[in-house]
Amino acid sequence: MRIIKKVALAVFKDKKMLQVRSKKHPEVFFTLGGKIEEGETDIECLKREVKEEIDCNIDEQSIKFLKEFEDVGHDKDGDMVNIKMYEGKLIGIPKPSSEIAEIGYFDTKSDKKHLSVIAQRTIFPWLKFHGYIN
| Domain positions in the chain | 3-129
Q: Which of 98, 89, 101 is nearest to 52 (CA)?
A: 98
Closest CA to 29 of 125, 129, 108, 100: 100
| Per-residue pLDDT tens over the stretch 31-59 | 999 999 999 999 999 999 999 999 999 99
85: β partners? 8, 67
Return the amino acid letter for 35: K
Q: Is the pTM of this model over 0.85?
A: yes
Backbone angles phi, psi at 23, to 5 degrees: -65, -20
Cα-to-chain-centroid distance, residue 93 = 17
Instruction: Evaluate whether 64 touches 88 at the Cβ level (below 8 Å).
Output: yes
pLDDT band, residue 76 (cuts 50/70/90): low
CATH of domain 3-129: 3.90.79.10
Residues 83-108 have pLDDT tens digits of: 999 999 999 999 999 899 999 999 99
